[in-house]
Structure 1
Amino acid sequence: MFRTALRNVFAHKARLLMTVLAVMLGVAFVSGTLVFTNTISSALEKSSAQGFDHVDVALTPGSTKAEGDKVSKEVKLTDATLKRARSVPGAASAYGVVSGYAAVADQDGKLVGNGFSTKGGNYWGSDDARYPLQDGTAPQGANQVALDAETAKRAGYKVGDQVRMSIDGPVLTPTVTGIFTTDDGNVAAGGSLALFDTATAQRLFHKQGAYDEIDVKAAGGTSQDQLKRAVDDALAAHGDDAVHTDTGRQLADDQAEMISTNMSSMKTMLLIFAGIALFVGIFIIANTFTMLVAQRTKELALMRAVGASRRQVTRSVLLEAFVVGAVAAVTGLAVGIGIGAGMRALLGRTGAILPDGPLVVSVGTVVTALVVGVLVTMLAAWLPGRRAAKIPPVAAMSAVHATATTKSLILRNTLGSLVSGVGVAAVLAATTMKGSDGQLPMGAGAALLVIGVFILTPLLSRPLIAAAAPVLRAFGISGKLARLNAVRNPRRTAATASALMIGLTLITGLTVIAGSVQTAIDKMAADSLKADYVVSMANGNALSPDVLKTLEGTDGVTATSGLSNSPSRIGDSTEYLTGVNGSTITKLAELPVDSGSFTVDGAKVVVDDDTAKDHGWTTGSTFTAAYEDGAKQKLTVAGVYEGNEMMRGIMVDAPTLNPHITDGASDMQVMLKTSGGASDATKDKLTKALGENPAIKIQDGKDISNEIAQMFTLMLNMLYGLLAMAVIVAVLGVINTLAMSVFERQQEIGMLRAIGIDRKGIKRMVRLESLVISLFGGVLGIGLGVFFGWAAGQLIGNSMTTYELIVPWARMGVFLALAAAVGILAALWPARRAARLNMLAAIKSE
């Protein structure tokens, strides 16, 4: 049986080529994903581990527990803590680390680095082992800074140059006194690092007399664990139990785990799309082996007649699948390694500078690729093999095709209806839920519905394809034959169309959701934002208080309000209070009021509807807030408003809240209105007033919407690219089905040629058949995609009040045209092959 299986594989090389390609693409995607993510993870882990070479024990601030009216507070690391750490037995040295956001502009005034990794810190003393100087000297005083070598190179700075930069708002112009090298993984990934002397860093980052971390180096003969125990004892003796201590080895391990966790989300997403491609490939493999088995029915029957058992026949088909899967898996692994290397190079070209490191092809990647390729192929071939083995030898010898029995059709349609019904019920039930509660039911329901529709596709194919009859009649006999051929074998048509259906379902659903969410955000910005501009930091950090003062004094600015945040204890929970300018907030924001009035003044506050519901508050309710400095105040709810994703929470008048913010009030945003309204000239005036600061964003409502739209567009384009793999596999499926169908119908095509249909007519017949099957799959996919888009929108709408379903009909038309193009392109080779058949040889064939 093994020799027979091998003979059949080599006898049908051309027919199995499309199956090999389908499996190979899926395996290549899986192995490429694993190679890419493993390579990046390994490089980042090695780079980050080097950053802990000078750390044996690190002290970081802990937090006090929030109990009763007490707000959780972060314990500060002071010079006293540093002195204690330096004096413990076994410590060779210790230094304090200060870090924060430091935006560096290049010679053209543009931000260097990628925003969130534009960092600043302190250079310890005149010689810091962490940052060896490549040129110049250590920074000293308020007007000196040192830059990392990569940033200096990209921005075009050298020792002696003045550099434009910003910490939290105001523009600074210190002189570059030194250029250093670093193993910092953020710098290696394209970020920037600017270092000041310790006193300057503490002042600029608002950490006077405090450190973010204290790093201790062990003396010779002292292990990291011994040093940690000594430091813990010293801290406990002085009541500093809330300070965390970790060994350098533990920090490196935690960093590696964090990198692995961050990469796992990317890996999971890519593997999901690889799984979709493989799932679509299953239809092609099943189709291929079903047709191969049908064409060899007499051969298999003869084997049964001479003594082969059912199990041996099934095993023979599975052996063929094993050989095909093994070839596809090995080829896919090789292609996947190339894809992994290409993805890394492509990521580098987008501006993301990655640490150096070798291409990682792990044993796990190799095993996964081989196992996935072989198992998927054998799984898809098992059912056709089992079906072939069940055909009685006598029946098989007399008929090439065994038609499905009425019982099997009733069973299939009943099962499909039940699965689809359960899927629809689960999806509809999920639409009534809120937030993440509905995600799992909706995902499970969507999967069941897709499976149910696939099971019902043979039943659906007849009426839907029949609907195309009036159009096909225009093509004469070729059109009529194309329609009859498309419904001749409903199971084969269903499997072919379903491969395309799955890809278009996902593409359509994502398009509907993205378009609807974007419209909701535009509406939210238009409805709730009356301010002409919103000013914020590029990285989302707090602004300097100087920014609000500068804007208030700018000519043409008529109203301003900062938005500051501060935690408070209300009852047994921690709630964040938002400080606003009570006299101007109604001029800058328009939030519908459910009850009371939008009055923010002194002890009067307004609360969003969700927070009010959670605490059982209504207009006139009073509650006691314990501020972060420990002070308490009774506040009165003047009004309850409808919150949204842009503005929500408890709003308090800034003069009431700000004195209780322990580290000084800092606005996360500043909203402002101008006499001239939003215009390019007004924006230029504000930009100049703020010193043309590269770290500050000045956005009107349209800018905010466009920023979010760019994120959605980028995400959608990336998903389109990933789903293109599934569409390519579906195209291969249509080609494979048509090619094998042409082979099956050689005699029939020869007869059609003999009675007068020319080659053009044969080509037209095959092309129209392909077009009808592809459009059938396209209609099902777009229909399901719109339904899933609506259902997911209902779930989103439960938490986003401005959400409404937007069906982009133009894009739906493009997707349907894409399905038609798939059908036309897929039919080129099979149609040409059918037209070139020798009619006499075809009539003689069996």
Structure 2
Amino acid sequence: MLKTALRNVLAHKARLLMTVLAVTLGVAFVSGTLVFADSSTAAHRAAVSKDYADIAVTVTPKDPPPGAPGASGPAGSAGSVADEHATVLDDELARKLAGLPGVAAVRPAADGLATLNASDGSPLRTGRIWAHRAAAYVPGADGKDSRHPLTEGRAPRDSTEIAVDSGTAAAGRFRIGDEITLATDGPVMTKRLVGIVTTRDTRVTAGGTLAVFDKATAQQLFVSPGRYTSIDLSAVPGTDEAELSRRVAALLPPDRAEATTGTAQAAQQAVLVDTLTRGNEKLSLVFAGVALFIGSFLIVNTFTMLVARRTREIALLRAIGATRRQVVRSLLWEAVLLGLAASGLGFLAGLGIASVLPRILSTTGEALPRGPLVIGPLPVMAALAVGVGVTVVAAWLPSRKAARIAPVEAMRAAEQPPTVAASRVRGVAGALLLALGAGLLLSLAGVKDASEENLRSAMFGCALLVVAVILLAPLLAVPVLRLTGRLTGRLGITGHLAHRNALRDPRRTAATASALMVSTALVAGLSVIGHSTGQALDRQAAAGLGADYVISTHTSSAGIDPAAVQRVSATPGVRTATAVCDSTLFIGGGVRQISGVDPAAALSVMKLDFVSGSLKDLGPGRIALSRTLARESGVSAGDRIDARIGGPGTDLTPYTVVGVYEDNPTAQDALGARTEVQEKALTAGSVQRVLVRADSGSDGGGAKDRLRTATGNNPLLQVQDRHELVQAAAGALGTLLTLTYGLLAIGGVIATLGIMNTLAMSVSDRTREIGVLRAIGMDRAGIRRMIRLESLTVAAFGTLLGLASGLFGAWTVGALTNGALKDYSLALPWGTLLLVCLISLATGVSAAALPARHASALSPLEAVAEL
């Protein structure tokens, strides 16, 4: 039987080609998305990780205790911390550390963050502010800095010069001699590019930037003159890290500096990185799951049809003495051989998919960090499991059924309709799953809590709903296709024949349409939720913002230059410009956000709806709370509450609540007097936002450009209008929609191959039938039209089921979103839904191109004579 399997594979190469292609595609999407998941996770890890491979011990300054000189708080700032507690890290300490036994090299560092503008003046890679590294060029005994090897030009020598890494130079289109504008934590600076370096810092190579200053300039910017932010030590081979760390600690003032081994730092970083990248792993694995789910339909359907076509061949084997077990074993060997070949091809194709997916999922150049492909054992095992495992299962089910058919009965009919009992079991199972899934989703309709448990329940209910529709699809095919037959019947005999061909085998039609149905349901459901959420965010932003533009920092730790605020106020076309200081509010055992505003000006740029009290009494010792925070704290207007503004500490201050307003994203959780919030903020005297009200009739684009100019084109600042604020608020939603369209692409490609595969086999099965149609007068154009209409009918069936399932799921799951967004209400994106329908139908038409061409090319006499 093994020889029979080998001969069957070689004898039916053309017939098996589409099957191999189907399995290859399924394997490619599953293995490719798993490789992408591993690669994306590794790239995200690299983007937030520091390489500790050659670091044995690192010396860093200790944070001052609360209340100590230089501690942050009401009278402190980040600068005072550096002045008072980083002074111990200097050249003298570096020389002492270099003399310790076991120390191979000492590398002082003056590191920080610097954001650059590209050559066209736009901020460079603003999506990764945390990866905008800045460092000092600290030469060793040979006059070179081993951490920043020069590839072009020279090292910066004074405060007017800068060097960047090669990746930053390419992204910003910089050349030696160019003037580069940048900012660290304040005003814009301009420096001349004198050198290009390389770096092993994975935070930079994974998509960040690196700016290198001369040592004195970096110390001035990030610590204090003559001092360092850290000192890294590498060890002589064979030196114990822990012992070296103890020697280093003995040289340090215990209250002002500490030594940490490279191993300990790497372990601490691993915990942080796992937390930051966990969501990326889950997002990537969603693709693999969907690809496996949809690809399995293609493989199972293709192999089921392939075995069904060979019923007579199986009957002949039975007639000459082959047992049922031998027949099944022969088909399984064929499946194994086919699966192994397709697994190898699919894995190679999957590597191509893994390299392309980051581009598909990146709405901007900042969406995903870069990194090499990571090929672990899981994608390889998945390729074999899908390619061989799913194919063997797909062959086993129909082969057992075919082997049970009596030889004489099989010789009479190539197709065996399902028994009444089998159809009944399928219908009952589908109905039960539909009731269970729909019931679970309907039970969530009144839920207002978007908790993880409720989200899991919603996902499980949607999965049950999709499986139920797939089981019921063959039963639904007959009534649905009869309705569509009224439309195709108006196209003449070709439309009537296409309708009858689709009805000929409802199971095959349903299985072919399943991939398209699943992808359509996902896209339709997620698009409805995304559109509804976007409108809710739009309404929320419009309800809370009275300003036309918001100038803000990319990070809460940075501040806006007071001179820039004055320039914005004096910009032509600006009616009002109000500065806002954002800080933290420790209240009721939790941490919230407070906005420091000028009471008189706030009402002109914020749309505040007070439930009780007002803003007129806002001042030192008096705050206003959002309705949610007031409810959670159990206070109302006129009550007193203990809270603390700014950094960590122990003392709470009693505040009088002067008003309670409806939740407002612009005002955040609480409002305080700007003078008080600025005084107690982490960086004293800073402001993080400027709300701008423009004159009526001011041109949008020109006003925005003038505001950018007023800020000095500072790369740390962003100027956003109302529409851009909504887009920024929907950042996670944008990722979800990008994922949606990625799923549509996966489902569309698999569905196209599935329909094409089904039609190709159907044309081969109906060779004699097509020959008869040609013989009685149907021309080639009529044959092509018939095949296309049949494909369009199948695509319409899958699209209809997908839309119904997706819209029902969006309606029920939308309640969870309503728990997180007050203004959420179901809104149908008619344009998107229409586009999904058109794409799905176009998939059916395009899938029929090759089978229709092949069918029309058949010679009538040869087709009629075909056995």
Coarse TM-score class (shorter-chain normalised): 0.7 to 0.9
Q: Structure 1 residue 351: deviation in Å?
A: 6.3
Inter-partner Cα distance in structure 1 for 2:119 and 2:758: 60
Q: For structure 2, which runs of at least 5 residues remain unmatched after alignment?
A: none
Of 779, 790, 793, the match for 1:772: 793
* Residue equivalent to 2:839: 818
Aligned residue runs from structure 1 range 375-774, under 5 A: 375-393=389-407, 395-431=409-445, 432-437=447-452, 438-538=454-554, 541-547=557-563, 549-551=565-567, 554=570, 557-598=574-615, 600-627=618-645, 628=647, 630-675=650-695, 679=699, 680-705=701-726, 716=737, 719-721=740-742, 723-753=744-774, 757-774=778-795
Inter-partner Cα distance in structure 2 for 1:499 and 1:148: 46
Inter-partner Cα distance in structure 2 for 1:755 and 1:684: 72
Inter-partner Cα distance in structure 2 for 1:470 and 1:353: 48
Inter-partner Cα distance in structure 2 for 1:463 and 1:718: 34
Look up the equivalent residue of 1:378 and give its one-letter code: V
* Residue equivalent to 2:117: 105
Q: Structure 1 residue 39: deviation in Å?
A: 6.6
Look up the equivalent residue of 1:422 and give its one-letter code: L
The secondary structure found in structure 2 opposite 1:173 is strand
Given that 2:450 and 2:816 are in contact with CA atoms closer than 8 Å, whether structure 1 keeps it comes out as: yes
Q: Structure 1 residue 535: deviation in Å?
A: 0.8
* Residue equivalent to 1:333: 347
Look up the equivalent residue of 1:476 and give its one-letter code: G
Return closer, same or farther for 1:737/1:193 CA change in 2, 3 Å cut-off.
closer
Return closer, same or farther for 1:198/1:371 CA change in 2, 3 Å cut-off.
same
Inter-partner Cα distance in structure 2 for 1:152 and 1:762: 59
* Deviation larger for 708-717 or 820-829: 708-717
What is the percentage of aligned positions where both structures have the same residue? 38
Return closer, same or farther for 1:645/1:744 CA change in 2, 3 Å cut-off.
farther
Return closer, same or farther for 1:326/1:155 CA change in 2, 3 Å cut-off.
closer
* Residue equivalent to 2:243: 226
Given that 1:170 and 1:546 are in contact with CA atoms closer than 8 Å, whether structure 2 keeps it comes out as: no
Inter-partner Cα distance in structure 1 for 2:813 and 2:268: 36
Deviations 1:286-317 (A, max 9, x none): 22333333333344345445554443333232
Return closer, same or farther for 1:373/1:578 CA change in 2, 3 Å cut-off.
same
Given that 2:34 and 2:284 are in contact with CA atoms closer than 8 Å, whether structure 1 keeps it comes out as: no
* Deviation larger for 372-381 or 362-371: 362-371
Q: Structure 1 residue 636: deviation in Å?
A: 2.2
Inter-partner Cα distance in structure 1 for 2:370 and 2:643: 52
Look up the equivalent residue of 1:667 and give its one-letter code: V
Return closer, same or farther for 1:389/1:211 CA change in 2, 3 Å cut-off.
farther
Q: Structure 1 residue 819: deviation in Å?
A: 2.6
Of 807, 815, 833, the match for 1:794: 815
Given that 2:586 and 2:644 are in contact with CA atoms closer than 8 Å, whether structure 1 keeps it comes out as: yes
Deviations 1:112-155 (A, max 9, x none): 45552333344458965534567556545x65655556656755
Q: For structure 1, which runs of at least 5 residues remain unmatched after alignment?
A: none
Inter-partner Cα distance in structure 1 for 2:191 and 2:780: 80
* Deviation larger for 81-90 or 438-447: 81-90
Given that 1:35 and 1:361 are in contact with CA atoms closer than 8 Å, whether structure 2 keeps it comes out as: yes
Given that 2:19 and 2:303 are in contact with CA atoms closer than 8 Å, whether structure 1 keeps it comes out as: no
The secondary structure found in structure 2 opposite 1:468 is helix
TM-score by length of 1: 0.86
* Residue equivalent to 1:14: 14
The secondary structure found in structure 1 opposite 2:503 is helix
Inter-partner Cα distance in structure 2 for 1:737 and 1:409: 22
Of 300, 304, 307, the match for 1:286: 300
Return closer, same or farther for 1:354/1:196 CA change in 2, 3 Å cut-off.
same
Return closer, same or farther for 1:479/1:330 CA change in 2, 3 Å cut-off.
same
Inter-partner Cα distance in structure 2 for 1:748 and 1:10: 27
Q: Structure 1 residue 565: deviation in Å?
A: 3.5
Give the alignment's Cα RMSD to 1 decimal.
Answer: 4.3
Given that 1:146 and 1:195 are in contact with CA atoms closer than 8 Å, whether structure 2 keeps it comes out as: yes
Return closer, same or farther for 1:817/1:182 CA change in 2, 3 Å cut-off.
closer
Given that 1:560 and 1:581 are in contact with CA atoms closer than 8 Å, whether structure 2 keeps it comes out as: no
Of 80, 98, 101, the match for 2:88: 80
Inter-partner Cα distance in structure 2 for 1:587 and 1:353: 36
* Residue equivalent to 1:58: 58
Return closer, same or farther for 1:12/1:594 CA change in 2, 3 Å cut-off.
farther
Inter-partner Cα distance in structure 1 for 2:562 and 2:283: 43
Deviations 1:341-391 (A, max 9, x none): 667899999868999998765666544423331112122223212322343
Inter-partner Cα distance in structure 2 for 1:772 and 1:378: 30
Given that 1:157 and 1:163 are in contact with CA atoms closer than 8 Å, whether structure 2 keeps it comes out as: no
Q: Structure 1 residue 54: deviation in Å?
A: 6.2
Look up the equivalent residue of 1:823 and give its one-letter code: G
Equivalent residues, number: 839
Deviations 1:160-190 (A, max 9, x none): x764322234222356677655433344345
* Deviation larger for 53-62 or 441-450: 53-62
Inter-partner Cα distance in structure 2 for 1:44 and 1:793: 31
Deviations 1:391-447 (A, max 9, x none): 355644554333222222222111101111211222233442422432211111111
Deviations 1:673-712 (A, max 9, x none): 3455753454444333333434422222134346668996
The secondary structure found in structure 1 opposite 2:624 is strand
Q: Structure 1 residue 455: deviation in Å?
A: 0.3
The secondary structure found in structure 1 opposite 2:20 is helix
Return closer, same or farther for 1:530/1:358 CA change in 2, 3 Å cut-off.
closer
The secondary structure found in structure 2 opposite 1:80 is coil
Inter-partner Cα distance in structure 1 for 2:702 and 2:629: 40
* Residue equivalent to 1:2: 2
Look up the equivalent residue of 2:621 and give its one-letter code: A
The secondary structure found in structure 1 opposite 2:820 is coil
1:193 aligns with 2:216: no
Given that 2:26 and 2:298 are in contact with CA atoms closer than 8 Å, whether structure 1 keeps it comes out as: no
Look up the equivalent residue of 1:412 and give its one-letter code: R
Inter-partner Cα distance in structure 2 for 1:401 and 1:284: 20
Look up the equivalent residue of 1:372 and give its one-letter code: V
